[in-house]
Amino acid sequence: MEFFTSDESRERQVEYNVFHTALAAAVADDGAKLWAEVREKERRRSVQGLPPVDPDEQFFAQAVDAVLEQHGDFALTSTDVRRAITSVREVEARRLRDDQQRTLQRELVAYVRSNVSRLSREAQMENRALVIAGKSEQPIGLVAHRIAVEKIRERLSLDRLPAPVIEKTILAVHERHPALFDPPHKVGSEEQGSAAVRASFPTPPTSRRASPINAAGRVPRQSGAQSEVER
């Protein structure tokens, strides 16, 4: 117990905390610059015919060098340094995952709102295919959001997002659009679009009530009035 409460132990823990904080800041603030340096070093190694190195390990080695250059040496063991690297790597992975998830959510919202009619038609077709395959239809809005993800994922970096996280994001965005898509319905062979889209168009002015016309093509007389022939 004396070892863990000694001044030396406390000082070492303080140094570890300072190093950990500085390393996390270097990775978050200078990550793009550090990765550019890693790629450049890898290019030079390739030109020289040297074997490649693990880019992730090279990245954190350069981050540690940057911290030491800025703060000076630390009274830490290699085990301490490795522990800090492991911790910061996990923190950075969570940060990148959260950033990618927020980007996916923002882009999905924008794409869906801009392509409601087309997504609605494609979702209707997808549901018809499910029925033909003997499967149950799914909520039209949810199918539309899944289609939208496939449309935009090529232009996004989603390498940190596993499939369950992507599906969770789709569900979250779908819940933000409760009235954007109509329930599945058919009118002839053509889908009439979503309620939200139809509501966005101005309502045409109400025309004057037309006089009813009977089967003979004449306007029927009002009650109590007599025609000239009857009189």
Task: Express each pLDDT in 152-187 by its tens digit.
Answer: 999 999 999 999 999 999 999 998 877 788 654 443
Distance of CA 164 to the CA centre of its chain: 12
R_g over Cα of the chain? 33
Query: What's the half-sphere exposure (Cβ side, CA atoms, 13 Å) at 47?
Result: 6
Query: Per-residue pLDDT for 1 more than 50?
Result: no
Percent of the chain with pLDDT over 70: 76
8 burial class (0-12, 13-18, 19+ CB within 10 angstroms)? exposed
What does the pLDDT read at residue 200? 35
Q: Which position has the token pair 């029927």?
A: 220
pLDDT (tens digit per residue) in 14-46? 999 999 999 999 999 999 999 999 999 999 999
Q: Tell me if 160 sits within 8 A of 97, measured CB to CB.
A: yes
Q: CA–CA separation, 189 vs 17, rounded Å?
A: 66
Mean pLDDT confidence for 117-141: 92
Looking at this protein, which amino acid is placed at residue 63? A
Query: What's the half-sphere exposure (Cβ side, CA atoms, 13 Å) at 162?
Result: 3
Query: Per-residue pLDDT for 101 more than 60?
Result: yes
CA distances 76 to 3, 32, 67, 86, 196, Å, are 16, 27, 13, 15, 61
What does the pLDDT read at residue 5? 60
Query: Per-residue pLDDT for 56 more than 80?
Result: yes
Q: CA–CA separation, 35 vs 38, rounded Å?
A: 5
Q: Which residue has the higher pLDDT, 54 or 194?
A: 54
